[in-house]
Amino acid sequence: MSDTLNLAQALLQRRSITPDDAGCQQQLGDRLAPLGFVSEPMRFGEVDNLWLRRGSEGPLFCFAGHTDVVPTGPEEKWQYPPFSATVADGMLHARGAADMKGSIAAFVTACQRFVAAHPDHRGSIALLITSDEEGPAVDGTVKVIETLQTRAERIDWCLVGEPTSTSRVGDVVKNGRRGSLNGLLRVRGIQGHVAYPHLARNPVHQAAAALAELAAIEWDQGNAHFPPTSFQIANIHAGTGATNVIPGELEVGINFRFSTEQTADGLIQQVETLLERHQLEYSLDWNLSGNPFLTEDGALLEATRTAIEEVTGYRPEVNTAGGTSDGRFIAPTGAQVLELGPLNATIHKLNECVSVADLDTLSRIYQRILEKLLLK
């Protein structure tokens, strides 16, 4: 029973379904207070956030993560109760084990060992913890970063504990993410009887060609760091449910995952120009979840690569694949941002689990990164 496992179990036994923190952040603050970390709770709306910092000088290294978890789904279908934090056959089973309370436990134990061995390390260490990552993400990390910026508190290096590994812990590091742009398109028609189409206007028929054209566009070819920009229709709805009624409105949810070859404004302009060309009567509401970001070669990436190789014996792959993370709110401040965490095979699934041994390995990797960046 390692310290990392003990802390992970204590966190996982708290039912912190987004945006509820369920006392996890208080537990983290209490754990790190004896080492000189100062807790600053930041509550925005219904969301609890925590800024924990040791030291006041630069450079500032920050671990970033979230204590909220997604809903469990039918609990009776889990092999073990999802908040029991059961260990069986070397695996820790619980909602949030991989995404991402296991990483948070590894953050803390890495900090404990590092500070105990090097109490006079250079610079500062911080933890930025939110309970809004799995939800709307409007009162979490983004608000904490805004607060830090107002008082000129700048993060130099940030490691986000998202589950990035695929086959073995530490085999993949994310050095960026694609941007995500959502749109809700409403095409207006005229409702009527299917037997009298000349008295109605079917918005599905009207929009079909435009949607097909959008789906066929090659937006770009990506670049050395990012795959090509993708367009997807995520939801589509029209009609009353009756077979004899022409719908009066079509509603379509769309999403772009876009590379640094594009901008949100550019994509919006291209879509709206196309819709105008098809002479649709429509409205379109846009929501930018985050712009793409990229951390090039530098101190953080080199320290992370080397730390993984020293602890595990293999060198990680570095890529930008996958969905968005709270790194999108931190990177625009100028911080170098990477993501590194446990295997992602079971995240958001029934029977989410993580290897106990992997958590201990991850903690040692985190500690080694601190040593490479903050020792004089």
What residues act catalytically?
Answer: 68, 133
Sign, CA dihedral 73-76-79-81, equals positive
C-alpha to C-alpha distance for 115 and 69, rounded to whole angstroms: 29
Q: Which residues contact 315 (CB under 8 A, 6 or more apart)?
A: 305, 308, 309
42: three-class secondary structure by DSSP: strand
Query: Tokens for 268?
Result: 């919006």
Spatial distance between the Cα atoms of 76 and 373, rounded to a whole number of angstroms? 46
Contacts of 67 (CB under 8 A, 6+ apart): 11, 14, 16, 21, 22, 24, 25, 101, 104, 129, 130, 131
Rounded Cα distance between 257 and 291, Å, is 9
Q: Under a CB-based contact definition with an 8 Å cutoff, are residues 135 and 71 in contact?
A: no
Phi, psi dihedral angles at 293 (to 5 degrees): -140, 155
Q: How many angstroms separate the Cα of 347 from the Cα of each of 19, 233, 352?
A: 18, 24, 6
Non-local (6+) Cβ contacts of 1 within 8 A are none
Cβ neighbours of 221 (radius 10 Å) = 11
Q: Can you list the alpha helix ranges (DSSP code H) found in the chain?
A: 3-12, 24-32, 102-117, 141-150, 203-216, 264-277, 299-312, 327-330, 356-374
